[in-house]
Structures are given as structure tokens and as C-alpha cells.
Structure 1
Amino acid sequence: MARSPKTSDEERAGSRDIGALRALWPFLVPYKGIMTLAVAALVLTACVSLVLPLAVRRVVDNFEVDAGALLDRYFVAALAIAALLALGTAARYYLVTRLGERVVTDIRKAVFARMVAMSPAFYERIMTGEVLSRITTDTTLILSVIGSSASVALRNLLILVGGLVLLLLTSAKLTGLVLLIVPAIIVPIVVLGRRLRVLSRQNQDWIAASSGNASETLLSVQTVQAYSHEARSRARFDEVTEKSFAAARQRIGTRAVMTAIVIFLIFAGIVGVLWIGARDVNAGAMTVGALVQFVIYAVMVAGAVGALTEIWGELQRAAGATERLVELLNAEDSLREPGAPRLAPQARGEITFEDVSFSYPSRPDVSALDHVGVTIRPGETVALVGPSGAGKTTMIQLLLRFWDPATGRVLLDGIDLRDMARPDFRRQMALVPQDPVIFADTARENIRFGRPDASDAEVEAAARAAAAHDFLMALPQGYDSQVGERGVMLSGGQKQRIAIARAILRDAPVLLLDEATSALDAESERLVQRAVDRLARGRTTLIVAHRLATVKKADRILVFDGGRIVAQGSHDDLVAEDGLYARLARLQFTDGMVQAAE
């Protein structure tokens, strides 16, 4: 079972080891061909690099020999080796960079596909901004590893191993002295590397928290400004961002200390070995060319170790990033799809709630619905009324299977929703939510969201039916006008009418209206109500409304209070009962008459 995203300071300290990078393997497998070519180019460049010191030794040892042609051949060979090294390096760069971009693209697609299918319960535990941070920032870290660090690490590992072998062949005595300092180098890498891994994970978590905070504030910027909350919002963002910087500073400091220790030990060892080698040359125990070759190999090995310590830090950060992305990929949805889903029939529109009880996870002690049982006949228009929080919208959310009931069943045409694939039965429903969602696209595409294959003529017909055509034509580019992020270019009523046009275009057998006319002026409400009346003919329609005038024409009215259905019937019958509905009606109609008089 996937862990829930970490939020507390104590939890942020936890991190897995670099083995977390193994989770990237399934994304690499489809590109074995590119990996094979990249490794071949990498091995080629490493081998060519290791050959160069041999050529240098030949030149040095034969420099005083009267053999110009021989020297010429050595230099030509060195030039050919350099050309081969250049071509191999270019090929390696192209292949591994392309591989990194391809894999990261696949990871982003996989994470987004997983996240967009998660039920609302998941987003009660994690901020949307943090998810976006993981998809962007964390995948960028993985890109740097696959597209650069991993190949550089492998190349330096080959040079390290090959260099050590050639050092041994050049001078076993000096190589033995070099190997004596290896344990002293490994200890700080291991000890400080563990600390670095923890700090890397902590840094990434704080970056994600910072992104989540910024996203939440900017998406509600008008409310923030209306309440003069800018200073407090800045303070909250600054606090989280400074914590991210503090974690980054600790990580950078730890890595700097590790780098300093390792480089000093490496080059101190080289200086000592060079001193002993120089004495051997004076004693005639080895040639100048052999010493030069040994020194070059020693520098290459030292450079490889230094590079590996640098790359180790990158791998630690990437391991933390991979771990966080895997959490999203492996996150379990509280709503499970059936193993063998039943095909959703062409809906007649019969809706049944059988003894349904439900509480939201964030409020487990409060019953949103309490043993609700009701059947809505095909083609029937049913209004859900009652005080705020009585359970009306919850009925629609359960019908769309955004949540599953704690007890009881929700059925569509006699089939439990849990036995069908969610996309199948949702295609047979059209929703107009209380807060209409408008995308950063054209007005035309926002309406076409209801049915992507609809023609322009069908889109415009839906807009006319929703009383949206006139104001859309008045926009600068008409239907092709951009409406801005979340529809900032539109009024509340205009957004509502676009949402209604979207539902009209969907032409589904079940229509769900959640306060669909709440943001409309009196004239627009009258026009839209006519459209809704026409749309509801022959369809099963659920209307959630506080305005009782909106629901008077319903075939049946369900009155909710405290998560229960406390009364049902026609408007006249419920008024005659003088219960909750009658009190709500008197309040609304009295308020309406007072407002009209004013």
C-alpha cells in the first residue's frame, strides 16, 4: 500500500537509499535499443581515454630516438584517437540526452494519468500544488540523472576500474600505495552520503510544499486581495520557502565538505606517490615515460573518484525525487474499479439509493447521509431541497461515484455503480455544478468539453438553448474568444450559462443540476429555466436548489435535513404539511416580496 504524502518535519527526514532509482527501470525497458547504443558509445569513449596515456608514454620514451617517422606515426595515432573520442562523446551525449527526455516524458504522462483518475478523497490528503511540483521539479531531477549523471557516472566508473588495472600493470608498487588511501576516501562518501540523501529528500519536500502554498494562494488571489490578506499570504509563503532554502543550504554544505575531504585525500595521495615514483626514476627502477603514464592514470582515476562523489550527490537527490514520484504512481485510490466490470446499459435513468449512509473522510463523525432510501423513476424530475449541509450535493456526488457509501448501494437501472467502470456510467450523466469550471481556452472549446466530437453548429445550438449565444457573440472574437484561466474574463452568470450549454451539448439521459441557476439574474434565470425545462423532458433530472421557485415544477420534491429525507411530495402537498419545506418556502417568498417592495 502506498504511503500517504509526507508533511511533518519528522516525516520529511525519512528517505530510502539510492536503490529507489530501480523504480525507473520499467520506464527504461522500452528503450533498450537506445540504451545499448549509448552504453556502446560510453564504453568506446572510456576505452579511448584509457589508451591515450599509453601513446604519451611511447612518445616520451622515444623522444630522443632518431626516428622522426615513428614519432610522426605516434602523433597521427594520437590525433585519430582524439577524433574517435570526440565522435564517441557526441554520440553518447545525443543518445543519453534523448533517452532522458523520452523517459521523463513517459513518467510525467504516467503520473498525470494516475492523478487525473484519483477520487476526491486523495486530494483531501495532498495539495494540488504539491502534485504539480512532483510532476515538474522532481522529474527535472530525474532528467538530469538519466540524461547526464548516469552516463557520466558509468564512464567514470569504467575509467576508475580500467585505470586501476593499468596502474597495476604500469607499477604494482605505486598502485599498492595508491590503494592504501581508498578506505580513507570511501568512509566520508558513505557517512556524509547518508546525511546528504536525507537532506535531499527534505529539500524536495519543502519545495513541493512551497509550490502547493503558492498555487493555493494564486488560484484564490481575488479573495486574498479582497480581505487584505497579501501580507499574511506572503509571510506564509516566505516561511515555507525559507525552510526549503535552509534544507538546500544544509545539503550544499554537506556536499561541499564531502567534496573537500575527498579531493584533498586523493591529491595528497597522488603527490605522495609521485614523490616515490620520482625517486624510482632517479634510481633507474622505472622510465620517465612509465612515470608520466602512471601519473596520468593516477590523475584520471582521481578525477573519476572526484566526479563519482559529485554524481553521488545528484543520484541521492534523484533517488528522493523518484521515491516521491513512485508514491504518486503507487497511490491507491479509495474507489476500486471492479475486476470484471459490467457493461453499463443504455441508461433508462432509474436511480436507486438503497439504505445509503455516508460520512466524508475529513468529518468521519458527521453523517452527510443517514440511511437514505429512494427510487427515482426514468424521466422523472426530482428536486432536492433543504438547509445547507443537509446532504443534497452529497447525493449527486455519490451518484457520480466520487465517493462510495459506507453502507447501502447506489444503483443505475438496477446495477450497482461499483460493478461498472466509472467512465462508462458517467458518460450517461451531465452535470452542472454549483461552481462552474471554466478552462483556460476559448468559449467554444469550453462548451465542446461536454461532447468533444460536436460540430460548431451543435455547440452554437447548445449555447442558444442556454441563453449564452448573445453574450458570446459580443466577445471580441465571438465563440473563439479566450476566456482566461478559470474563466476570469466572464461574470458568474456567464460562466454558469456556459456550464449549462456544456450539459445541454452532452445530451445525456441523466441530468444533474447542482444550484445550476444560482448565479443568474432574473431574466437569464427565466431563459435558462426554459432551456432546462426543455432539456429535462424525457430525462431523469435531479435538481439541487435553494430557490424554491426553481423546483416548484418538479414531479417530486425530496426535503433533506441532517442527512435524512424528512419529507417528499409535490410543492402543494409539502406546503400543506406545514413542515420544514413550508417554513423554507415562507422565508423565501417573504424575502422575495420584501425585496420586490424595496
Structure 2
Amino acid sequence: MNAHLPSLAFKRKKQVSLILQSEMSECSLACLAMVAGYYGHQVDLNSMRLKFQVTSRGATLESLISNAQTLNFATRALRLEPELFDQLTLPAILHWNFNHFVVLSECKDNQFTIYDPAVGKRQITFETLSKSFTGIALELTPLQNFEQIKDTTELKVWQLWSKANGLKRSIAQILLLSVIIQLCSMILPLFMQFSVDSIVISEDIKLLYALALGFSLFAAIKVGTDLLRSHIIIYLSSHLSVQVGNNILSHLMSLPLKWFESRHVGDIVSRFSSIYPIRDFISKGFVEALVDGTMVIISLILMFMYSTTLATIVLSVITIYAIVRSIFYTPLKIAQEEELSAKAKENSNFMETIRAAKTIKAFSKEAQRQSLWQSYFVSATNSQVRLLKVDVGFKAVVDALLSLESIIIVVVGTLLVINNQLSIGMFFAFFIYKQQFTDKSVTLIEKFIEFKMLRLHLERLSDIILSKPENIGTKDLSRDQFILGRITVNDLSFQFSKNEPFVFARLNFDITPGESVAIVGPSGAGKSTLMKILMGLLEPVSGEVLLDGMNVKTIGITNYRRQIAAVQQDDELLSGSLAENIAFFSDKIDFERVHQCAQMAAIHDDIMQMPMGYNTLVGDMGAALSGGQKQRILIARALYQQPKILLLDEATSHLDAKTERLVNEAIKSLAITRVSIAHRKETIESADRIIDISRINNPSAH
């Protein structure tokens, strides 16, 4: 292969940096990012997503090769047996379990180091590897024009709280109170020194009581100030949680549908929960770090004033502690990252099992699902055990180090007292200052490590915050504005990614105001995909959708959706009453309209037969209702919005012919534009016109 230069000197890292995937199908991007980082092109998943499109269907080896070549890698796909891995240029990407990609970084003594973007770093044996490796490997070699750059889109802490009201004032108050607390703590050791050196010798009891009263005052100030500071921290923490949580949720709900479809619910919940450790650091840890840093300097100065020898010993031990802590940082970060990922997977599986309880019971698969959850749970537990082992190992080293420090200080300090270089009171005071210095130094170092560990939570949150929201548009278009309801589709094409075939291509049709159109075609022709585009839930690759001659993108998705209502195949009801669901939890429910819409959807009589009528609770996502009842409530919900255009995707599939006819006649009387996807003959015949998606200007269907 002449395309690359084997002799080209790249400064390589000794280890691959682990990158865990966020989406279900982006293992190829994560693997490519890990290999690129190994050769000096530092790139994160956010940047990779902007460069390369990967759908929820996953990626092929062909698309992986294409993406690697875009990053200026020479690629070579190989079919080989694991016995020949010693001939591979590492790190290499392996095809895994026929549905996944991993990075192989090292082969040594029947041990293989695998970086799995779904699990983490693993050491596996030849036997384990042979069971999962499919026989396909991809070598990546940098070309001459390969760039060693940093291409990352990192989220900064200040970006989360830059707009939080009252943050600076509260932090200033906490900082001031913390300084007062620490100054009181610095004064209290002097009581020990004066008591031992002056009062014991002079036997002045009155002076002892006077000093005790004075230092008690300082202690009272310290306790009161600490109590006040705690209340401010509680207020700040709750205030920040509300503001930041609301801002992140608002941004989360503005993300496009495909973002949600490519992630597990448990993983999204886990990422959202990362705001809490960040909040705790900002409201408490950050201020404590500033105060501790100041107190460390003051304590160190005081210790040197008492004894240079003892102070040097203490400073040396703290320096060793900082070095040990930095050594343990990387394994601790990796272990915590793997633990968070494993817990998210276990949580997703648990939620999925609860949601599908009816189906699982119907197929008698309880034992199988329990076994699968147990596998995820054991994996999460093992990740936690690895994290605890790293932490236990570090604490053992630290305990030994600090215990040795105290022994040395007592020995050397006693010798200094014997040699009259320190008084007994000064030694007691020094020991207290030493303890304060050690505690504050350890806390300060831990806060620094905690700050670095925040990067892990920021990376998880960045998947939400740095994702691009939908285009809401700038045109002012209210629901009350006069809209005819004409839909025009011009040269509409869609594919899930550039490496996949078109679902449909160059679709053209026009739906006049008030017309009822049924979209038909064979399964897989793209009917539901087209409906999602008409709803504004998916963006086409090319072409446009017009509402009364106005481009939907110009109008803006939010404004466009105010003019339409839809009932999809997988629509859900939310926790609340039937009336609330029909009105979709409107601030002011128009009960007359609720009843009218329910009657049009032929569900009013069913509701009135229920014990609580319209106040009946629907249960978890409508679990207490039959399929037909649920569909009719969803139709009533859509009608309540008073749309100009009604989009129905198999919205009456659970209804009998008589009920369906009643619903269709009621909707027809509204004289609004109706677009339906259906397979049933009765539904199709009720339409004014039929559009066969497989035949209209669609070369991909032939």
C-alpha cells in the first residue's frame, strides 16, 4: 500500500483514550474517534456527529471506511483469524458480535485489550475474543495530510450557571461567612498554647476563666456563622437546581425527534442527573476550595513561624499525597465513567421491562427478562466494585502516609521540646495547625480532583446541551391566523443516511384545502416516514413542504405545528384524567369543547359509563383503557386543538367498521384538510383521493 508513509513519525500515546458511545448506534464513530485520538487527532463524539451522520439503524463497514478516509486515514479491511492478530497494525477496529465495533489496542500473552464503546476497557482471553470476533478487522494508518489537532466541543461549567439569578451574590455571602469560620478556627489553637505555657506555670485561674470566656465567644461565632452559611448553601443549591434543571429540560424538549429515537430512556435520565454533582460543586465545593486555599497558605505560614523543620516535613508529606492522588486519578475516572454507563444501561433495561410487562407475561418470558436484567445489574455492580477497589487502594496508601506523618511529627516535635527549641504549648498549637493544614490541603486536592471529575459529568450533559435544537422559525404565525390548509410537497426525498438507499425520492403532490387524502403503499414504502415529515418531526434530505404556499422551514416548526394535529401509531396518553388528556393539559380546559370532541370521536358514551366520567384517571400511559378507547381519546385530543390540518397514521385500526364510519363522518363535517395512512378498505374508501406513495415520481420504488 503506497498511499501512506510507514516511516512518518507520529507522536503516539501509549494508550487509547476510552470514548463511550451516547447513542445506541454510534459505536463506529466512537471507535474511529479513539483511533484518531491515539494518533493525535483529538475529537469527541459531538464533533464526530457533526461530521458524519449515523442513524439508529447503525453503520456498515463501508460507511466506517468512508468516514475514516475523510479523516485522512488509509484503510485496509481484512478477513483473518484471531491467531493472526500479531500481524495487525494496532490499534485496529474489530467487527464484534455481528452488530458492534470495538477497538483492539494490544495483544500480549493470550490477553487482549479491548476498548468497547458500549462497556469500557476490558482485558479478555483468546477464548472470549474468539466467541465475539466475526473475522473482520479494519486497519487505520495516518496519511501524510493527517492532522494532529484538537477538534472538540467541550461544555464549560460557567455555561450552565452564567444566567442563574443571584449566583454571584450568594457565592460572595458564602465566601465571606467561610472566611469568618476559618479565622475563628485559626484562633482557637492559641487557647491551648496560652493555657499550657502561661496558665499552668503561673496557676492563674482567673486568667484561665477569662481566656475560656473569650475563646468561647469565638467558638459561638464560628457555630452561628456555620449555621447561617449552611442555610445559604441550601437555598443556593435548591435555587440553582430549579433554574438549571428548567433550562436543560427546556433545551432537551427542543431537540429533534431523531435525537430521542437514537437513545435509551435510562441513558437520557442518567445524563440529565449529572446536573446534581455539578450543582453541589458550584454551590459548596467551589467556595470551600477558595477558602481552603487561603487557609492552607495561612496555616503554612504559621507552621513555619513555629518550626521550619516540622513545617517542611508536613509540606513534604502533602506533596507526596498530591502525587499519589494524581496517579490514581486516571483509573478512578475510567472506573467512574464505566460505572455511570453500566448503571444507565441497567436502568434502561429495567424501564423497558416494566413498560413491556404485559407483552412479557403474554409470552411467558419473565425468566428470560429477569436473566437479562440480572446480566446488566451484575455488570453495573462489577463496575461499582472496580470503582470501590480503586478508591480503597488509594485510601489505604493515604492512611499509611498520614499516619506516618503524625508519628514523625510527634517524634521530631518531642525532640525539639527536649532541646528547648519549642515549648510544650507551642508544640500543641503547632500540632493543631498541622492538622488543620493537612485537612485543608487534602480537601483542596480532593476539590481539584472533583473539579476534574466534573468533566465526566459535563461530557454526559454536553450530549444534551450541545445538541442542535429544532428550527423554530422567526415568522409570527398564530393559531387564530386565517390558514386555508393547503399542503404542497415539492421534490421531497428522504434517506436515513447518505450510505443508505432513499426511502422515497422526488415526491410531488398537492392537497387542496378541506380535501381528504389517503396515502397507501406497500409496507416499507415510507408512508409513516412521510407522515413524520408532514408533522415536522423529520427533516427531508431535499425538497420542501409548503403550507398555503409558505415553506414550513420559513414558518418555523413550532408555528407550523400550531396549525396541525396528528394521531400516530405509537401515540401515548399521559398520567392524568381523561379530560386533561383530551385537552392535553391546557391551563384553562374548555369542558364544553372536551365533550364535543369526545362525541365526535365516539368515545363520550364510553366515558360516561365509567365511575368517574371525565375525571377517570387513565393509568400509566393509558394502560387501563382498551386499544379502541385509547385511539378514540387520541382522536378527541387531536380535534380539541382545532387544527387546520389533521394527520392520521393508522388512527382507527382498532375500531370496528361501524365506529370507524361514525368517527370519519364526524371529522368530515369539520371541512378541514385530512391526510390518512391506512390499509383497511373502509378507511381508504372514505377518502376523496388516494395517493400511492410507491408510484408518484418515486424512482426508488421501481
TM-score above 0.5, yes or no: yes
Task: Report the RMSD for the aligned CA atoms in angstroms.
Answer: 2.8
Mapped pair 1:555 → 2:688: yes
Counterparts in 2 of 1:402 and 1:200: CA distance versus 1, 3 Å? same
Whole-Å Cα distance in 1 between the matches of residues 322 and 46 of structure 2? Answer: 34
Contact (CA 8 Å) 1:391, 1:562: kept in 2 or not? Answer: no
* Secondary structure at 2:537 match in 1: coil
Find the partner of 1:44 among 153, 169, 180.
180
Counterparts in 2 of 1:503 and 1:451: CA distance versus 1, 3 Å? farther
Higher strand proportion? 2
Counterparts in 2 of 1:19 and 1:118: CA distance versus 1, 3 Å? closer
Contact (CA 8 Å) 2:503, 2:526: kept in 1 or not? Answer: yes
Structure 2 matches for 1:222-301, cutoff 5 A?
222-301=358-437
CA drift of 1:2 comes to 2.6
* Secondary structure at 2:436 match in 1: helix
CA drift of 1:86 comes to 0.6
Q: Which has the higher contact order (CA 8 A, sep 6+)?
A: 1
Contact (CA 8 Å) 1:351, 1:376: kept in 2 or not? Answer: yes
Whole-Å Cα distance in 2 between the matches of residues 19 and 456 of structure 1? Answer: 46
Whole-Å Cα distance in 1 between the matches of residues 538 and 695 of structure 2? Answer: 19
Matched with 1:2 is 46
Mapped pair 1:107 → 2:244: yes
Gapped runs of 5+ residues in structure 1? 567-579, 581-598
Matched with 1:440 is 575
Give the aligned residue type for 1:358.
F
Give the aligned residue type for 1:112.
L
Whole-Å Cα distance in 2 between the matches of residues 228 and 82 of structure 1? Answer: 66
Whole-Å Cα distance in 1 between the matches of residues 250 and 285 of structure 2? Answer: 28
Counterparts in 2 of 1:459 and 1:29: CA distance versus 1, 3 Å? closer
* Secondary structure at 1:35 match in 2: helix
Find the partner of 2:622 among 487, 508, 517.
487
* Secondary structure at 2:257 match in 1: coil
Counterparts in 2 of 1:497 and 1:26: CA distance versus 1, 3 Å? same
Whole-Å Cα distance in 2 between the matches of residues 127 and 355 of structure 1? Answer: 34
Whole-Å Cα distance in 2 between the matches of residues 529 and 94 of structure 1? Answer: 61
Matched with 2:656 is 521
Whole-Å Cα distance in 1 between the matches of residues 448 and 390 of structure 2? Answer: 13
Give the aligned residue type for 2:591.
D
CA drift of 1:139 comes to 3.0
Counterparts in 2 of 1:434 and 1:473: CA distance versus 1, 3 Å? same
Find the partner of 1:77 among 192, 209, 214.
214
Matched with 2:269 is 132
Give the aligned residue type for 1:540.
T
Higher alpha-carbon Rg: 1
Query: Which is worse superposed, 448-457 or 253-262?
Result: 448-457
Contact (CA 8 Å) 2:345, 2:376: kept in 1 or not? Answer: yes
Contact (CA 8 Å) 2:580, 2:589: kept in 1 or not? Answer: no
Whole-Å Cα distance in 2 between the matches of residues 296 and 450 of structure 1? Answer: 61
TM-score relative to the length of structure 1: 0.86
Give the aligned residue type for 1:71.
L
Whole-Å Cα distance in 1 between the matches of residues 603 and 466 of structure 2? Answer: 43
Mapped pair 1:374 → 2:509: yes
Counterparts in 2 of 1:350 and 1:526: CA distance versus 1, 3 Å? closer
Contact (CA 8 Å) 2:171, 2:283: kept in 1 or not? Answer: no
Give the aligned residue type for 1:191.
I
Matched with 2:259 is 122
Give the aligned residue type for 2:439.
G
TM-score relative to the length of structure 2: 0.74
Contact (CA 8 Å) 1:353, 1:374: kept in 2 or not? Answer: yes
Structure 2 matches for 1:93-492, cutoff 5 A?
93-136=230-273, 138-308=274-444, 314-315=450-451, 317-333=453-469, 335-338=470-473, 340-341=474-475, 343=477, 346-361=482-497, 365-449=500-584, 453-492=588-627
Counterparts in 2 of 1:267 and 1:22: CA distance versus 1, 3 Å? farther
Contact (CA 8 Å) 2:472, 2:559: kept in 1 or not? Answer: no
Whole-Å Cα distance in 2 between the matches of residues 306 and 175 of structure 1? Answer: 16
Query: Which is worse superposed, 347-356 or 445-454?
Result: 445-454
Contact (CA 8 Å) 1:196, 1:254: kept in 2 or not? Answer: yes
Whole-Å Cα distance in 1 between the matches of residues 160 and 300 of structure 2? Answer: 31
Mapped pair 1:540 → 2:677: no
CA drift of 1:426 comes to 0.6
Counterparts in 2 of 1:29 and 1:275: CA distance versus 1, 3 Å? farther
CA drift of 1:187 comes to 1.2
- Percentage of matched positions with identical amino acids: 26
Contact (CA 8 Å) 1:259, 1:310: kept in 2 or not? Answer: no
Contact (CA 8 Å) 1:97, 1:146: kept in 2 or not? Answer: no
Matched with 1:570 is none
Whole-Å Cα distance in 2 between the matches of residues 4 and 75 of structure 1? Answer: 66
Number of residue pairs matched? Answer: 559
Whole-Å Cα distance in 2 between the matches of residues 256 and 187 of structure 1? Answer: 17
Contact (CA 8 Å) 1:46, 1:158: kept in 2 or not? Answer: no
